[in-house]
Amino acid sequence: MTCCEGWTSCNGFCLLALLLAGVVLNSIPLGINLVEEDTIFQNPISCYEWWFPGIIGAGLMAVPATVMSLAVRKRGCCNNKTGMFLSSLLNVITVIGALYCVLVSVQALAEGPLICNSQVNNTANCEFSLKNLTNINFESFRLEWFLNDSCVSPTGLTNLNSDDMATSWKIPSSNSKEDRYRIFHFSVFLGLLLVGILEGLFGLSQIVIGFLGCLCGVSERRGRTV
């Protein structure tokens, strides 16, 4: 097995693990209200869980590249020059899905859970527009909603200096519904952000390795068995 084949096989297992992690993380906020209040569409933790960043972006869009990469271990269709080239092309889809997962996660972390932004927490308040993903304001990405005593920003918060805000920072630890939702929201979307970044890196590396395998070829012994 050449280094191209070995790295492709390793990529397949890593992408499979990240794919499953993304689906599980995205499913957590979707199932919380079903368990707590026996409802699905009422009182969601965030609008962004319904964008399915982990299920679609880090999940379904990574399936073709994962299957192709794992096929090399079983002497499958990836174990030749054409297969290596296809693995590169399929990983472009993986990178796009990972980027989608990252953008949605960053927006979700910047805005905080729905309970911090609305008095009526249901999907009717969610605006599902791709324009939202291009309006990321990194200057407001300070996680005050998670570190302050309450995630509801008081009037005039923008006039406070950094020393005043630092004194009120406290990781939520109570059993209130607000704190539970803040912890779930932060944990889920931070996890999805990491999954998206790692998937993107593995996808980019496989694009490079796939083209190298296409140019340099794979092992002759396995090449004959295909």
Other C-beta atoms closer than 10 Å to the C-beta of 177 total 12
pLDDT of amino acid 92: 95
Q: Which of 201, 181, 212, 206 is nearest to 44 (CA)?
A: 181
46: left (phi over 0), alpha (psi -120 to 50) or beta: beta
Low-confidence residues of the chain: pLDDT under 50: 1-2, 155-167, 221-226
Q: Phi, psi at residue 169, to the nearest 5°?
A: -75, 130
Q: Indicate the SS3 state at residue 44.
A: coil
> What's the token pair of residue 31?
């199932």
Query: Using an 8 Å Cβ cutoff, are 75 and 187 in contact?
Result: no
Q: Quick one: CA torsion of 167, 169, 175, 176, rounded to 10 degrees?
A: 90
pLDDT in tens, 82-100: 777 888 899 999 999 999 9
pTM (predicted TM-score): 0.80
Read off the pLDDT of residues 123-155 as tens digits, 9 standing for 90 and up: 666 776 666 666 666 565 677 788 777 776 554
